Structure 1
Amino acid sequence: MVATVRLLAGFLLLGSTLASPVPSTNGISFPPLPFPPITPTGLLCQLPIVKNFVCPRQTSSGLSVSTPIGTAQGTVDTSGVNRFVVRYATADRWQASAIATTWALPNGATDPSALPLACPQPDVDDSAFSEDCLSMILYVPTNIAAGSNVPTMMWIHGGSFIVGSATGPGLDGSSLAIATNSIIAVVQYRLGALGWMAPSGATNLAMVDLINALGFLRNVVPSFGGDTSHITIAGQSSGANMVRAMLAIPSASSMFNNAIIQSDPMDYGFLSTSTQQTMQTYFNGLLNCSTSDTSCLNAISLDGLIDAQMDLFSNAYTLDPSATQSEPMRPVHDGNLITTTLDSSSAFPSVSKSVLVSTVLNEAGLTIYGNFDSPLPESSWEPVVNQTFGTSRTEMICNSSQYAASQFVSGGGATSNASESTVDARAQLQELGTDYIWKCSSWTFARNWVSNGGTVYAGLYIIGSSYPGNSDVSYCTDTGVVCHQDDIQIVFGTAPSPTSEQAALISEMQARYGAFFRTGNPNPSGSSLANWQAAGTSDVNAILLGGSGHAPVGACDPSYWGDAVQYDYQVYGI
């Protein structure tokens, strides 16, 4: 039992923050926050040995578009959509990127059907990635021509800031482009240490990449029929975190109109400069190079850099608990580029943009049930919470009715007659993790945003499409369960063999996104869809996506999370 509690404490809630960090035992290493996996299927089209034979789409010799920086050559992605792959920026190692001034295919490719290599990341064959990875894929409906003035959405992939790519599972933008009659751009940015841990101490290089991606889009989308006054940025998980960081960058504000934030773990907050410096000192010590010795730093192999990066990833929370075990490398509130925490730990700025904020029903399910495949006794509940939250917050959590055992019985459902023997503590941990890391912290952001001049539409997915890898955890395949990432293939319309319920939600979300791209309001004109009411300063009016009515408030009442029980960013003052 002691070992079980220690394992839970070291890992619980996606390795968030620990009052007293407890290492895993028996040599077991738990994964961090779940992210879109780089699967064999996802990598197939990135492997040079097969990509030119298996993956090229139909090429049209007449498929070319004249842009201010050269002629763009594309391919037919699916019927009704053309695909253009391009390098949007270049960057030397650990230097700020610069916008591309000529249209060029990524990675020295000559065939416009070739897909871009991913950015360097762990557990991927070296042939599948390159430092020359600042690429994007444009999906353009064939009925759009120059002068059409359609909106553009720029999608930022997730992956805990260390993995992922524009060619990840489910990210083909053709269906979404057709349904919304919009240009969909899926972008890559520098990951891990290359994007966040410059030995010189320069911060937020990956954010600069995204700013340059927006600058590139503004230069070229008019040539494809896009309207630069209607650009929406969107992302999921760590990609959503970067969307929120873009909202905290005044110099980027004029480059986009609206924002979509899907499943952002807002509880973590942006990194403080002191935490970043602590991690930077540790990371620099692993490199055996002077921070000013560019030749030495450039000579480090990518495998060597990734090894050092993952050393930091594994140990960052022991250096500073606010780093978390899940996303230690992330946007830094440096006061220069990112000028506000954009949370409740400091004064919230005046805002005006329209933001769509969503989470899924069981965000923490993949992690909790994926690592503990047998029921946990109720007796483990309070000790585990204490190890994770510390005494003060544990008392508030365990002495309230929000996560009481009576609310949870094995197999789901609630009863006032549940006994300890029928309660599986995993259900409580899943609910707790979902609330404080994602759902309630997102609702707190929504209230803050509205209170300071902006508009928010909040939603909760109760239907999803199991993302590749999620089906390995039986809980995530249970009826009514929607795990982290299960919203991606709904939005993109890439759910394989969708059920009637999934198909209906895909149609609804794509209609709502199309309206949001154009007006900042997800209620299509003349539609029979239920009205999506904007959030208020108290009631966020979060609608059930895939159902009807509003999501129950539960522990997301503003008097509970963020007030009675503080978020991690409040506890650590970041």
Structure 2
Amino acid sequence: MVALFLAILSALLTPTLSAPAGISIPHVDPSKILCRLPILQNIWITCPSNGKAALNRQTSLGTANGVEDPNGAYRFAVRYGNAARFQPSSVVTSWDLPNGSNNASALPLACPQPDIDASAYSEDCLSMILYVPPSLTVTSQAPTLVWIHGGSFIVGSSSGAGLDGSKLAIATNSIVAVIQYRLGAPGFLAPNGQTNLAVKDVVTGLNFLKKVLPYFGGSPSKVTLAGQSAGANMIRALLAVPSASSLFRSAILQSDPMNFGFLSPTTYSALKNDFVSRTGCSATDNACLNGLSVAALISASMATFNAGLSISPAAGQAQPIRPVLDGSYIAAPLDSTGTFPPQTKPLLITTVAQEAGWAIYKSFSDPLPEFALPSVCEFSLGSDRTATVLNQQLYQPIPNAGGDPDARAQLQLIGTDQLWKCSGWTFTRSWVQNGGTAYVGQYVVGSTYPGNELVPFCTQSGVVCHQDDIQIVFGTVENPTSAQSALITETQSRYKNFLANGNPNPSGLSAWPAATSSNVHPKLLGGTGEATVGACDPSFWGSSVQYDYQYYHNY
């Protein structure tokens, strides 16, 4: 219809008379007029923007300017929220490109973080990128997948490696929204005591989507949250926020380090006070705090992050800055240390086969003798938990290529089970026992995520390290193998079904049984059958050996 209308308009606007000598009649581009016609506000139109084809869409917040992504979807970058430093965010009142840009093809600047150029980040960073399949119309009522990036709550962005949502959007016929939120102390350790600002940023983003999704063919009642690592941790926090429950109907948690749990108010206060002391300001001196440079904020935030374990053992080593169980916004721990509330939402909970591989083999580049195992374990688990773990014979010595035992292999298994796999299964059983539905999976095929190639262990055949599932889900693997291609197709098909009805079992694929309180049925993704239970038996991790959230419960 648009093409026909354009053709008619072009014919009407094309001069049919010869111009008098010496007078030029300019050609009128009908698309430029089309872009301004109110009658076409509710259909896609292609308009010029800075020399590139752009797509305009009229919304309740104004005109959304986007471009066609190289992978086929329509891409819209947008600023979704406003926030002053250390204050809660609010939904924008108009549609604006991120960072004051007038280039619809530009991607948002990241939130302030270490190890990137200052020109790549901005405090004005509450932005997201929408990927919309060309097939959608305003009447489609399509689902939306909101992706929350990981990065230990200190790094990451909506334009991170592998997060182009175009292929995923087209494969699932859904809108994919990749969101970013405040990181480090600005998002989690506000000196004024305002807790969980980053969690509230995501809620602000969800409220923004509720306003605009209908104009892109999406249904506000069909939103699924998905995220990996810290992004999955963020989703678990949102599952514990009663006021956010109506904003999404299902969730996908990939590689959530559930062993840590939420911060306690005591540990949060200790971390917050440490951060404030490193700024050189007092907690009540707003002029001083607001006058700090962004570089100074990052420096103080990272100093607290790196000192987290020494500030409080409950903070843990890898993700000391994280959501806090403040008792008001986040109302329940969602673990065995408190009453688990009734649940109704369906979840997908997945891990990868060698979650701890990158951390262990990066820390110990050479084989580790067996006699070193207890002392290394004690650094993370303490002496009593280490003794229980090693006395149960569940983690036997594994020889390296030369035939000698390499304690790194045992440490990798222990770390994977404690931080991700077994703690995730424990959470699953609690979720199901309290009325929710859950499907558990383990990736045994992956794609080496940028950075993981620096650790040779993670590039070995059959090894799937932390983050190696991301490009499988998004379909952004470069030159995929046949096994990767097959898993991408399967995963996106299962996600499409899950987004539609909360069940990852489309016709034509092998059955993925729902978890029960006694058997989580962990499906091997990229393999056949189910993962072995091993040490994830509920009588071991979480019982004989406590998770950190249990062990440090009184901190």
Q: TM-score, normalised by structure 2?
A: 0.90
Mapped pair 1:500 → 2:492: no
**How far did residue 317 of structure 1 move?**
1.1
Q: Is the 8 A contact 1:57 1:77 kept in 2?
A: no
Residues 1:410 and 2:400 aligned together: yes
- 1:95-244 correspondence runs (5 A): 95-244=87-236
Q: 1:545 aligns with which of 488, 507, 525?
A: 525
Shift of 1:386: 2.8
From 463, 468, 478, the equivalent of 1:486 is 468
Deviation at residue 79 of structure 1 after TM alignment: 5.2
User: Does the CA contact (< 8 Å) of 2:249 and 2:345 recur in 1?
Assistant: yes
State whether residues 58 and 77 of structure 1, in contact with CA within 8 Å, keep that contact through their aligned partners in structure 2.
no
Aligned residue-pair number: 506
Of residues 469, 473, 477, the one that matches 2:459 is: 477
Matches of 1:469 and 1:58, distance apart in 2: 35
- Equivalent in 352, 356, 360 of residue 368 of structure 1: 360
Question: Structure 1: which amino acid aligns with 2:105?
Answer: S
1:450 partnered with 2:432: yes
**Partner residue of 2:550?**
570
Q: Show CA shifts across 1:331-354 (max 9, x none).
A: 000011100111111111111100
| 1:242-257 matches, cutoff 5 A | 242-257=234-249
Which AA in structure 1 matches 2:235?
Answer: V
Distance 2:217 2:229 in 1: 30
Cα deviations across residues 219-265 of structure 1 (Å, max 9, x unaligned)? 10110000111100010000000011110000000000000000000
Contact 1:236 1:263 in 2 (8 A): yes
Are 1:173 and 1:184, in contact at CA under 8 Å, matched by a contact in 2?
yes
Q: What code does the residue aligned with 1:59 have?
A: K
**2:78 maps to 1:86:** yes
Would you say 1:59 and 2:52 are equivalent positions? yes
CA distance in 2, matches of 1:506, 1:376: 36
- TM-score using structure 1 length: 0.87
Report which structure shows greater RCO (CA 8 Å, sep ≥6): 1
Q: Deviations over 1:451-490 (max 9, x none)?
A: 0000000000000000001011110011100000000000
* Separation in 1, partners of 2:306, 2:379: 19
Tell me the distance in 2 between the aligned counterparts of 1:237 and 1:540: 20
Separation (CA, whole Å) in 2 of partners of 1:75 and 1:98: 26
DSSP 3-state at the match of 2:131: strand
Cα distance in 2 for residues equivalent to 1:226 and 1:354: 20
Query: 1:523 aligned to 2:505?
Result: yes
Percent identical among aligned pairs is 55
1:438 pairs, out of 394, 417, 420, with: 420
Match of 1:309 among 301, 316, 323: 301
Maintained 8 Å contact 2:50/2:103: no
2:253 pairs with 1:261 = yes
- Displacement of 1:58: 7.9
* Counterpart for residue 30 of structure 1: none
Secondary structure at the aligned position of 1:124 is classed as coil
Unaligned 5+ segments in structure 2 are 1-48
Counterparts of 2:426 and 2:296, CA distance in 1: 40
* SS, match of residue 74 in structure 2: strand
What SS does structure 1 have at the residue aligned with 2:279?
coil
Q: What one-letter code is carried by the residue in structure 1 that aligns with 2:408?
A: R
Measured in 2, the distance between the counterparts of 1:197 and 1:494 equals 34
Q: Based on CA coordinates, which of the two structures has the bigger radius of gyration?
A: 2
Unaligned runs of 5+ residues in structure 1 are: 1-55, 413-420
User: CA contact under 8 A between 2:152 and 2:230: conserved in structure 1?
Assistant: yes
Are the counterparts in 1 of residues 233 and 258 from structure 2 also a CA contact under 8 Å?
Answer: yes
1:399 aligned onto 2:391: yes
Supply the AA of the counterpart residue of 1:482.
V
Q: 1:556 — aligned with what?
A: 536
Contact 1:263 1:438 in 2 (8 A): yes
- In structure 2, C-alpha distance between the alignment counterparts of 1:208 and 1:383, rounded to whole Å: 40
Matched, 1:466 2:458: no
